[in-house]
Structure 1
Amino acid sequence: MNGTNQRLEQLAARARSAPPAVPEELPYGFVTRVLVASTETPDSSALWARFSLGALPVAAVATAACLWWSAGAMSSDAHDLAQVFIQTPLFP
């Protein structure tokens, strides 16, 4: 136990005598270049919004076509089962 305290005292003495850490300075103009680069990048969220709004009618037509195609092929038993699932309330 005494050896541990002695080692801790030695470490604390070395830490007190260590030179203070000097923060590294950034290269000249680095902050300006970062700010300019951040304003030059285009906003990609507007592009994604435009693509998603363009794809919305296509998805709606595809969904309607799938429902129309599957409704004709559905047997009466499957239709009754689908109605049961539609009318069953979902609880969390």
Structure 2
Amino acid sequence: MQRGVISRAIGLSPKTLARRAKAGRFNTVESDRLVALVALFGEALALFDYDKAGAVEWMTSPVRGLGSKRPIDMLGTRVETKAVFDFIGQLELGILV
């Protein structure tokens, strides 16, 4: 995933992301969003049988079942993040088509 996509997902400018990564320190909100992004990517990978390109494409495209929002844009709140994980769970169970 490109650094710009990651920085937008966790609410940082690319320069700030680079500084934080170099220092190895993020604040609590940034850390929470980064952990959520990694977890979401892991779930998307599993959903797409570990096809990285497919997982990234899904995460960065509008999804009808999520109100036409991009899953990566839903990391700003715990409620939206949970909605994405719940949606993936429903897809995995075959509840949604």
TM-score interval (norm. to shorter)? under 0.3
Structure with greater Cα Rg: 1
Which fold has the larger relative contact order, with Cα–Cα distance below 8 Å and residues 6 or more apart in sequence? 2
Q: Normalization by structure 2: what TM-score?
A: 0.21
